[in-house]
A and B are shown apart, each in its own frame.
With several copies, the nearest count.
Chain A
Amino acid sequence: MDYDTRDHTNDFVLKIGTVNGTGSASANGILMQAIFRMGVPVSGKNIFPSNIQGLPTWYEIRANKRGHTSRSPHFDVIVAMNPKTYEQDIAGTRPGGSVLYDSSWPLDEALLRDDVSFLGIPLAQMCVESFRGSRKRTLMKNITYVGALAALLAIDLDVIDEILKEKFSSKPHLMDSNNSAIKMGHDYVLEHFDYPLPARLERMEATGDSVLMNGNMAAALGCVYAGATVGAWYPITPSSSLMDEFVALCKQLRKDPETGENLYCVIQAEDELAAIGIVLGASWAGARAFTPTSGPGLSLMNEFIGLAYYAEVPAVLFDIQRTGPSTGMPTRTQQGDLFQVVFASHGDTKHIALFPADPGECFHFAVHAFDLTERFQTPVFVVSDLDIGMNDWMCDRLEWDDTYRPDRGKVLSAEELQNMEVFYRYMDVDGDGIPYRTLPGVDPKGAYFTRGSGHDRFGRYTEDGDLYQEVMDRLAEKVESAADVLPEPEIIQVPGATVGIVTIGGCRGAVLEAIAVLADESIPVDFIRIRGFPFSKSINEFLLAHEINIVVEQNRDAQLRRLLILATDVEKKTLASVLDYKGNPLSADVVLRGVRERLGLIPVAVE
C-alpha cells in the first residue's frame, strides 16, 4: 500500500530513534500529547529493547485524520538520534520523507539518499553551549528536537507551552531550561529550513471525547473500580506496569480517610506460583483478587489454575502477552498464549477468557472479569498484550455507571445458611451447573473442605468414578454456559460480502484500516472480532454465513483459527489464516497483503 500520492497533512508517521536510558520518553510524550491536543487522531508505539541502558530504542508516532492509528511502517519523518542505527533508520524513510539528525558530527556520505531530505541540526553542540551537566544536556537535546519538530510539523507552540506548564508546575526550575530548549530548536528550523514539511499538522476536532491511555493503566483502573482489594504479582515485562498503576491509584484513592491506612493489599510474591496462590487464597476468603503476568509466569501458574478450575475458586488473571516461546522477546508483542490460556493445566480443563482490543476494553473487561469469576466460580483470564498494555492509545473517554454493584455470584450469607437444612458445596441446586459457595468465618453451617483431589457433589473426598464424573460433567456445562454472558463479538457487515475477516485483540485497528482500503477498491468484506471464549452462538453464525473466513492473528500456529475449528461448526477448509508474529504491533500492510493473497488477488509471497 502506498500513501505517498496522498496529502500528508494530518496523515504521517514520525519515527524517533534514540539510545535507551537517555530520557527521550518524556520528550516523545510531549509530541504525542501536542498532536492529540491539536485534535488530530494519534498513537505512539514504543519499540524498546530488553535492556536498561545503551541500546537502540524507537518511538513511532502516527497522526491520521481518518483515525487509523495502528502501526504503520511508512515513515515520513525520522528523527535519527542514534548513530548506531542511522543506516537502518535512513533506509527506512519513505521516498520523499525527511531525516532530522544531529549534525554536531558529520553524517557519513554513504548514508545519504537523494529521495530523502536531510535536516541537520547541531543538537549536541547547541546543548553543550546552552546547558550545564552531561545528564541535563542529554535530556535537553531531546526537548530541543521537540522544538525543531514543532516548527517542521507545524505544532502549535502554545499547546507545547501549556503541556510544559502542567508537566513542571511542581518543579518550576525545570520550566526555563525546557522552554529555552524548545525555542532553540524551533528557531533553528526557522532560520535554516523550509517549513513546515509536507507531513504537517492542522487543527482538527477529532479528539475531544478521547483520552490517551495504555492498556495496563486502564486495566489497573478497572481493578480499582471493580472493588478488587488483593493483588499479587511477580514482576515481568510487559505486565509489571499494570500493578505499578494499581498501586499508584490505590495510594491516591484507597486510603482510609481517617487513619491513612490501606484499603487494599498488594503483595509482590516470590514468584508466579506464589502470586496465583495468594490470589486463590484471597478469593477463597472472599476478596476480589487478581494477578497480572506474562507467558513465563502463566506457564508457572498451570498447576494452581487447574486447582482453581476443579475446586471452583475464583481468580482473575491478566495475561499481557509477549513474544514467546520461553523467555522469547520480552519487549515485543504477540498473541501466542491463546491455547495455553484456555486449556491451562493438566487433565480436562477449559477456561473463560476475555480479549480486549484496546485500553478502553481493558478497563471494562477487567471489571467484567471479576463479576464473571465470582459468578462462575472459575478462573477468568483477561488476555491483553504488550502493544495494548504498554503503548499509548487514543480511546473514548471512560464512562462509569455509579449504579454498578459487583455480582458476587452465589455466595451464601450467615442468614441464608441458618435457614438452610444443610449446605453442600458442589450441589447443582439450580440446575445451571453453578453451585453455592460460602466464605470462611461466616457461619459454622457453611464449613466445607476445599480440595483439588477427587470430590463428590457434597464436597466429600471420593474415589468413586460415578461421583467424580458427576462433578466433572457439571464443570464442563458450567464453563460452557458462560458463552451466553461474555461480551458479544464486534461485527461489521457490508452488503454483498461473502468473505469474513476474523480477528482478535489489538489486531482490530490494522484490520479495520485494511478493510477500509479494500472498500475503497470496492472489495466488500465483513468483519468480526472475537471478544470472549467460550465462543457465543453469533460467532458460529457469522462463520457459517461466509464462504471463506480469513483469520488474522499474531502467532505462528494460528491459535485462534484452531480454537474456532474446535469450538464452532465451521468447516476447517473455509478458514484461512493471515499470521504475523515478528513481534511488532500489526500494520494494515500485513493484513492487506495477506488478505489479497488468500483471495487470490496477488500471488502468495514466498519469504
Chain B
Amino acid sequence: MSQTAKPLVRHPALKRNQLGLTQRDYEGSMSTLCAGCGHDSVTAAIVQAFFELEIPPHKAAKLSGIGCSSKTPAYFLKEAHGFNSVHGRMPSIATGANAANGDLIYIGISGDGDSLSIGLGQLCHAIRRNVNMLYVLENNGVYGLTKGQFSASADAGTRAKKGEENRMSPIDPASLAMTLGASFVARSFSGDKPQLVPLIKAGLSHRGFALVDVISPCVTFNDHEGSTKSYAHTRGHAQEVVNTDFIPFRQELQAEQGAGELTAVTMHDGSVVRFRSVSEGYDPTDRNGAYHHLKELQGRGEVATGLLYIEPTSLDMHALENMVDQPLVDVPFEKLCPGGDVLSKLQEHWR
C-alpha cells in the first residue's frame, strides 16, 4: 500500500492516525470556491472526520451532482475515487455503486438546488431505499454556481442580494427525511466544526442513509442582511437540540464529562454515539416526538441542529434486497454464469 511509504516524507510534527496517515493525506486539490464559502469549512470537517475514523482514503467513494457544493469532493480524499455526475442525480449513481460494491464507504455531497429542486425525487427514493451512505447537503438557500437564484430551501420572506423577496415556503430536508422514514437525520452549521465533525463521523458509521443537512452560507450571493442563510442569521438562530459525541469502535470510552443525562446508541460496527439532549426532553430515537419538536422550533424561527433522529438498527438496501455480504464486484464469474448444461436444461421447457 502506497501509504506505508508516505510517513518517511511527511513532516514529523504532523499527527498521525493508526494507519500512519496525517490529516494532509485526507485532503484533496486546492479549492476554487470563493474565499469564505461555507462549503470549504464542511470539506475541512470531512477531512478531519475521515482522519479521525482512520479510514483508508481509497476505501471511500465520493459522489456529487453539480454545483459549487458538488465541486467539493475534489477538495478532499485525493486517494479516493470521485464521481461528479449530473445535476440532481447523484443519489442514483450512489445507489448503483452501492449495489455493486457495498464494501466502500460512500459519501455524497450535494447542494440545496441539487437535492431539493432537480434532485428531490432521487433524494426521497434513496432515503426510502435506505442506501448505505452519508449524504451531506450543503444548504445555502441559493444556487451558487449559477449566480444566486433562490433555491427551494430559501425561507419565505428571505431577500435576494438584489432585493427581491422569496414568498414560497421552504422545503426543509430534515423534516422531509423524517417524514419519509429516514434512519439518520442530522443538521449542523458549517461554522460549527465541533458539532459537525462528530455528526459526520456518526453518519459515516451509520448503516443506512444518513442525511446531514449543513447550513453552509454562500458569502457571494446569500450572506447579506435579510438573508436567513447568512452566517450572522444562522449563528443567531441555530438551536442545538442534542449534543453529540462519537466514539469509533476500538476506542475505549473516556470518563463521561459534563452534566445532563447522557444516552448512548451503539452502531452496527460497534461504534457508539453518545448524545446529551440540550433541548428539554428531546429524544432523537423517537421519530414523531423529534419531528414535532423540530416543527415547533421552526415555528419560532429557530433552526434545530444536532443529531435530530437516529434508528441504529434499520435495514439498509443490501439487507432489504437480501444480497450476499460479498461485494457483487468480487463474485467470480464462475459463480454468476450457470454454464452450458443448465442452458440446455432450461430450454427443455421451451419446446
Direct contact of A and B (CB under 8 A): yes
Chain A residues close to B by CB (< 8 Å): 21, 33, 36-37, 50-55, 207, 210-213, 221, 224-227, 229-230, 232, 234-237, 240, 253-254, 256, 259, 261-287, 289, 296, 303-304, 307, 326-327, 397-402, 404-406, 418, 438-453, 461
B82 and A449 contacting across the interface, CB-CB below 8 Å = yes
B147 and A240 contacting across the interface, CB-CB below 8 Å = yes
**How far apart are the CA atoms of A120 and B3 in the complex, in Å?**
48
**How far apart are the CA atoms of A234 and B324 in the complex, in Å?**
24
A229 and B100 contacting across the interface, CB-CB below 8 Å = yes
Residues of B within 8 A of A226 (CB): 337
**How far apart are the CA atoms of A327 and B351 in the complex, in Å?**
35
Nearest-CB residue, chain B, relative to A33 = B351
Residues of B within 8 A of A278 (CB): 92-93, 95-96, 99
B86 and A450 contacting across the interface, CB-CB below 8 Å = no
Chain B stretch 216-245: residues in CB contact (< 8 A) with chain A: 220
Nearest-CB residue, chain B, relative to A259 = B324
A277 and B96 contacting across the interface, CB-CB below 8 Å = yes
**How far apart are the CA atoms of A558 and B325 in the complex, in Å?**
50
Chain B residues close to A by CB (< 8 Å): 1-3, 32-35, 56-59, 61, 63, 66, 68, 73-74, 78-89, 91-101, 103-104, 117-118, 120-122, 124-125, 129, 143-147, 149-150, 152, 220, 321-325, 328-329, 331, 333, 335-340, 342-344, 346-347, 350-351
Q: List 27 A-B contacts (CB under 8 A).
A: A21-B220, A53-B33, A211-B350, A226-B337, A232-B96, A240-B147, A254-B336, A256-B324, A263-B328, A265-B323, A268-B149, A270-B121, A270-B152, A273-B92, A277-B89, A281-B83, A281-B99, A287-B100, A304-B86, A401-B340, A440-B58, A440-B101, A443-B1, A443-B2, A443-B58, A444-B58, A449-B83
A212 and B86 contacting across the interface, CB-CB below 8 Å = no
> Quick one: given A270-B121, A441-B81, A453-B84, are A225 and B343 in contact (CB under 8 Å)?
yes
B89 and A273 contacting across the interface, CB-CB below 8 Å = yes
Residues of A within 8 A of B78 (CB): 447
**How far apart are the CA atoms of A36 and B89 in the complex, in Å?**
46
Residues of A within 8 A of B350 (CB): 211-213
Number of A-B contacts (CB under 8 A): 270
B339 and A400 contacting across the interface, CB-CB below 8 Å = yes
Residues of A within 8 A of B149 (CB): 235, 240, 268
A444 and B322 contacting across the interface, CB-CB below 8 Å = no
Residues of B within 8 A of A284 (CB): 83, 93, 96-97
Partner of A52, one of B34, B66, B87: B34
**How far apart are the CA atoms of A450 and B118 in the complex, in Å?**
21
B100 and A282 contacting across the interface, CB-CB below 8 Å = yes
B340 and A52 contacting across the interface, CB-CB below 8 Å = no
Residues of B within 8 A of A286 (CB): 100-101, 329
Nearest-CB residue, chain B, relative to A291 = B96
A53 and B339 contacting across the interface, CB-CB below 8 Å = no
- Taking the closest CB of chain B, its distance from the CB of A297, in whole angstroms, is 9
A270 and B125 contacting across the interface, CB-CB below 8 Å = yes
**How far apart are the CA atoms of A230 and B321 in the complex, in Å?**
12
**How far apart are the CA atoms of A286 and B328 in the complex, in Å?**
9
A444 and B343 contacting across the interface, CB-CB below 8 Å = no
Residues of A within 8 A of B88 (CB): 271
> Quick one: given A240-B146, A447-B80, are A53 and B323 in contact (CB under 8 Å)?
no
Residues of B within 8 A of A240 (CB): 146-147, 149
A237 and B57 contacting across the interface, CB-CB below 8 Å = no
Residues of B within 8 A of A296 (CB): 86-87
**How far apart are the CA atoms of A36 and B331 in the complex, in Å?**
39
Nearest-CB residue, chain B, relative to A402 = B340
- Taking the closest CB of chain B, its distance from the CB of A344, in whole angstroms, is 14
Residues of A within 8 A of B93 (CB): 277-278, 280-281, 284
**How far apart are the CA atoms of A476 and B117 in the complex, in Å?**
34
**How far apart are the CA atoms of A447 and B61 in the complex, in Å?**
10
A230 and B99 contacting across the interface, CB-CB below 8 Å = yes
Nearest-CB residue, chain A, relative to B218 = A52
Partner of B333, one of A211, A273, A405, A449: A405
> Quick one: given A53-B220, A274-B89, A274-B125, are A448 and B81 in contact (CB under 8 Å)?
yes
B79 and A447 contacting across the interface, CB-CB below 8 Å = yes
- Taking the closest CB of chain A, its distance from the CB of B244, in whole angstroms, is 29
Residues of B within 8 A of A263 (CB): 324, 328, 331, 335-336
Partner of B3, one of A54, A254, A444: A444
Residues of A within 8 A of B87 (CB): 271, 296, 327
- Taking the closest CB of chain B, its distance from the CB of A258, in whole angstroms, is 10
**How far apart are the CA atoms of A449 and B73 in the complex, in Å?**
9
